Amino acid sequence: MRKLDLPFASAARYSLAILGPIGSAGAQFALSLVLLRVLDQGGFGRFSFLLVLSQFTWGIWTALFCAPLPLLLSQGTGETRDRTRRTIQNASLIGAVVALILFGVVGMLLGEDFGAAAIFAAYAAMSLLRWFARAHAYAIGAQVRTTISDMVYAATVLIGAGLLLVFKSDALLSAWAILFAGATLGMIPFGRTYLREQFLQVSPRALADYRPVWREHSRWSLFGVATTEATANAHTYFVILLMGPTAFAPIAASALIIRPINVAMNALTEFERAQMARQIGAGRVDLAHRAARFFRAALALVWLLTAVAIVALFYRAPSLIFPPQYDIGVLVTGVTLWMLVSAIRAMRTPESALLQAAGAFQPLARASLWSSIVSIVAVLALLMLGQPLWSIVGILFGEAVFAALTWRAVRVCFRP
């Protein structure tokens, strides 16, 4: 019976870890579906690109602050851990203020009016602070707070999406306002003490004290995030730059349907990375490897269930999701390509989390560097040869390289 303890315990932990992200992603999916119907293709393409851009900065926050946090909190004395936590927390707030300004400028450059750009920037900055708060809760073993935060966010966005569907007034500005409200209210479950430390107890020394964290951990992790983004989303930036938001709209629409897989990968990575860091810190590398195997099985199950749901949707009633101005043949091709991409990505995600938990950011960064080069070259070549949709194949090539090099890095890093 003892051999069954880990799978059952892991299943229970995963249920808690994924409950909130499923709820929040489901609500955001509902909002995207409303916008898919009330916006023209240019407006939907612009919204989707700005959302991708804001979520890219979640990866930056993971590299700079979230990924090193569980590793550092598993080391040193209680006083050292508390000082490290406060340093990273303060640096995250300063970074969010900078992001607020940058996002406002980007929103206006892409054609949003001042009001919509300002609210988008406020949402993007607040979402970064909530992203760090979630990672902190995981790192200290308070994952219930993360789940409650996600559910508050989900309820707010879902209610807002329903109101937007009824009233349909100034859809883009309303959408960003809904997301901002969700991110703001989602901070409340982390508690009065945490909020006071995050917003009121700011130290001007935070950036100076953050330097050792940057040198030892974050710089390699950030490099990895930048190159991973190039691997995963090179098509997004090139299509928007070369062809505009309208050309990007069908790609974004087809990507909507695989969101459950991405939700599972992101949610379980945040959760499992903290667990693995504690296991490796305690010298139980065997448990970390076992957790990675269970992690992969869980993602494979999510992928399979999503595939079944997609086949049923396109066979029975694709109009439930997609409005008539989108060509179904194009969408089927896009979804098929995205499912292949997500399959490879899901298979290498547990090893990526394992390397992050061990502090092996440098080999992970090298893997993502080579994969990003492959993605960029392939995407540009495919855009010159064919339609924008086929740029997804370039992402597929990059993900395959990333997976191979990540698996190799794990074998080298954990060699007996």
pLDDT tens string 315-351: 887 877 788 888 888 889 999 999 999 999 999 999 9
Per-residue confidence at 15, pLDDT binned at 50, 70, 90?
Answer: low
Question: Quick one: which of 271, 267, 280, 265 has its CA closest to 347?
Answer: 265
3-class DSSP state of 42? helix
* Residue 204, φ and ψ in degrees, nearest 5: -65, -15
Reading the block at residue 57, the tokens are 């900065």
Please work out, in degrees rounded to the nearest 5, the angle formed at the alpha carbon of residue 23 by the alpha carbons of 179 and 118.
Answer: 10
The DSSP letter of residue 21 is H
Distance, CA of 19 to CA of 412 (rounded, Å): 34
Contact (CB, 8 A) for 90 and 202:
yes
Per-residue confidence at 2, pLDDT binned at 50, 70, 90?
Answer: very low
Average pLDDT over residues 8-28: 69
Tell me what percent of the residues of the chain surpass a pLDDT of 90.
23
Q: How many helices (H) and strands (E) does the chain have?
A: 16, 0
Reading the block at residue 402, the tokens are 């990333």
The DSSP letter of residue 64 is I
pLDDT tens string 268-289: 787 787 788 888 877 888 888 8
Distance, CA of 91 to CA of 129 (rounded, Å): 11
Contact (CB, 8 A) for 354 and 197:
no
Q: Tell me what pLDDT residue 160 has.
A: 93
Contact (CB, 8 A) for 32 and 172:
no
Contact (CB, 8 A) for 107 and 50:
yes
Question: Quick one: which of 310, 215, 210 has its CA closest to 261?
Answer: 310
Contact (CB, 8 A) for 206 and 352:
no
Distance, CA of 268 to CA of 265 (rounded, Å): 6
**Helix axes of 259-281 and 285-316: crossing angle, nearest 10 degrees:** 170
Q: Tell me what pLDDT residue 330 has.
A: 87
* Residue 257, φ and ψ in degrees, nearest 5: -70, -20
Per-residue confidence at 406, pLDDT binned at 50, 70, 90?
Answer: very high
pTM: 0.76
Reading the block at residue 1, the tokens are 């019976």
Statement: residue 88 has pLDDT above 70:
yes
Per-residue confidence at 20, pLDDT binned at 50, 70, 90?
Answer: confident
Distance, CA of 195 to CA of 156 (rounded, Å): 20
Per-residue confidence at 14, pLDDT binned at 50, 70, 90?
Answer: low
pLDDT tens string 167-225: 777 888 999 999 999 999 999 999 888 888 888 877 766 667 777 777 776 777 777 77
Distance, CA of 307 to CA of 318 (rounded, Å): 14
Q: Tell me what pLDDT residue 120 has.
A: 94
Pure H helices in 327-360: 328-357
Q: Tell me what pLDDT residue 4 has.
A: 39
Question: Quick one: which of 32, 12, 7, 10 has its CA closest to 262?
Answer: 32
Q: Tell me what pLDDT residue 179 has.
A: 95
pLDDT tens string 104-158: 999 888 888 888 899 999 999 999 999 999 988 888 878 889 889 999 999 999 9
